[in-house]
Each structure stands twice: as C-alpha cells, then as structure tokens.
Amino acid sequence: MSTGLTRVRSRIIMTVQNAVAARLIALDWGTSNLRATLLGEGGVVLDARAAAEGVMAVREGRFEDVLQALVGDWIAAHGCNLVASGMIGSRQGWREAPYLDCPATPAQAARSLVRVDLARGTLGVALHIVPGLRVFGADGEFDVMRGEETQIWGADLAPGQTCILPGTHAKWVQVGEGGRIESFLTFMTGELYAVLTQHSILGRLMQFGSSSPADFERGVRLGLAEYRQATHILFAVRTAGLTDRVPPQGLPDYLSGLLLGIEIGSVLSTARGAMGTVTLLGDAALVARYVTALGLAGIDAQAAPADATTRGQWRIAAAAGLTDR
C-alpha cells in the first residue's frame, strides 16, 4: 500500500523529536488528501506528513492500510490516540459520523466523537472521528460541512464574526460565543469553476497559465451586479471571448471573478448580510482573491492564521480526554 504514497515531511519544529512525548496523532483526511500531524504536550507540532490518499482515492475501504503506510511508525512508537476530521467521517469515508446540528460547540463535538478501533494498534488507543455539522437553512433545506468546523474551532474567532472558508464548496459561517457555530451557507463556487472550465463551452476559448487581475475585477463587478441572474450571466464568459472583449488568457480569471461576485452578491442580498467582522480561513492564494473581491463589494476582511485545523483537532481531543496518554 505504500506504492503511490507521497510522503512529505514538513516543519519539524522540534529538532530532537523524541525529547518530547507525543500525545496525539491528528489527521486531516479530506476528499483529495490525507495530512497527519504528530502533536506533543499543549498541542505542539512534533512532525507532519501528507499523502495524496484522500477518501476518494482509497479503494475497497482499505483506510487502515493507508493510515498504517503513512504513520504506522508513529502509532507503534508513541501509543497515543488518533483524532480525524473531514470527509473521512462521511458516508463514503471510513465510518460515518452523524452530523451535529447547529448551533454546535467544540465540547459537543468532543462528546460525539465516533470511535474506530484499529486492527493494528496499541491496546486502549483508537481513532476518533469528529462529526460534521448540519444546519436547517432559512431556505428550507439542510446545509452540511465536514472538516471546516474543526478549522474554525482552531482559529480563535471572536463572537459575532463571519468566517469565510474558500474552496471547492466555500462556506460562510456565523460564529457565536466560545467558538459556537451558529449557522452557515455553502456556495459551490470552486467546483463550478472547475467543471465549467474543464467540461463546458466556457472553457473552449480559454487559455490557462496567466493571471489577469483586471479581468478578475471585471468579473467580480459583473457578478455583484447580476447575481440574481447567475445562470444567465455565466454565459457572458462565452460572449466576452467571442466578441474579443476579454482575451483568451483573461477568461479564466474573468470566470473566477464572476463566480466570486455572484457568491458575495448573493450573501449581501439577504438578512444574512449583517455579518460583522469578516475573517478568511484557508489557502493563501484563494484568500487573497476573496479579500480583493470583498473589497470591491465594500467589505474589509482579514486572513486568520493557517494552522487552525491542527489546533482545532487538539482542542477537541483534549476536551474528550484523549491526550492524557
């Protein structure tokens, strides 16, 4: 099973790793990637590894094989518990962890961890999966997240903030007292960008590889103005190419800006637009795009520290008493 695993050792913060006792193995196991972090007392990072073995890449439910291939030596050497957040707790994952309903706190998540015993592990330790969150929206439909809740709980957000997590399925999250997650909205912005560039007529005239801030801004402004006709205005990416109003190398950023403008315009149009301070959490390049787009809508936003996931995992595990041995 080690074939195909890409091991990345990064940020070995403690140079003499064995000098500090390991307390927890924290797994961020999403759709596309598995990131593992070895944590010591107080949540200090001792070691980190990653593999391109996301939930969708694991065949025939062989999750433990993938886990052992990446961090089997940590499990054998340290005898500490494992905590995992992300799509690993979905129906397509290792074990389904039922959604917690919002509002939801880290303490509730700690009480709702789903325990998975390992076939090859130290007696008394196990893998504990963090549940995702569910909210029943003002639109009469459920919305869901898995993994982002742990990231938010690690980010030390002040009450009343709106936290945006850009990505395949971007989340806009209302945060209350003590990190409580009050409600949230998902936008399919990232996935729409991917499928429209790769599989629709909008990609036909595009030339990839360059950045075009002016076309991005133009797209954002169009999306902010025309979000009420989203499935019409997306066609402007085709016509802007056909009529030479945007050059082929500017079309990808024009679409990206348009989708962000539609997303931001949509949120501002509702009562949910009363959003307080806005904090962005995620990949630096994506966060920068959102800061620009939000600025064009007159909204100041700031980026939160990037290591929030690991801190969230430590907090939940500590609250569940899993970091004591």
**Residues in contact with its own copies by the rule CB under 8 A:** 91-92, 134, 139-144, 169, 185-189, 191-192, 195-196, 198-201, 204, 222, 225-236, 238-240, 242-243, 245, 259, 262-263, 266-267, 269-270
| Cβ–Cβ < 8 Å for 1, 18 | no
**Are 99 and 133 contacting, i.e. CB atoms less than 8 angstroms apart?**
yes
Q: Give CA separation, 319 vs 32, 69, 177, in Å.
A: 28, 28, 17
CB of 266 vs its own copies, minimal distance in Å: 4
Output the smallest distance, CB 139 to its own copies, in A. 5
Q: Name the residue nearer to its own copies (CB basis): 11 or 245.
A: 245
**Least distance (Å) from its own copies to the CB of residue 178?**
26
Instruction: Supply the minimum distance, in Å, between the C-beta of residue 80 and its own copies.
Output: 32
Give the pairing of strands 133-136 and 100-101.
parallel
CA 41 – CA 19 distance, rounded (Å): 11
CB nearer its own copies, residue 40 or residue 223: 223
Largest CA distance in the chain: 68
Nearest residue (CB) to its own copies, 107 versus 114: 114
Please identify, using beta-carbon distances, which residue of 8 and 235 lies nearer to its own copies.
235
Q: Kindly report the number of other CB atoms within 10 A of residue 213's CB atom.
A: 12
Pick between residue 3 and residue 198 the one whose CB is nearest to its own copies: 198
Nearer to its own copies, 259 or 320 (CB): 259
Shortest gap between Cβ of 262 and its own copies (angstroms)?
A: 6
Least Å from the CB of residue 198 to its own copies? 7
Per-residue burial over 62-94, b if 16 or more Cβ lie within 10 Å, else e, is ebbbbbbbbbbebbeebebbbbbbbbbbbeebb
- Residue 25: its H or E element: strand 22-29
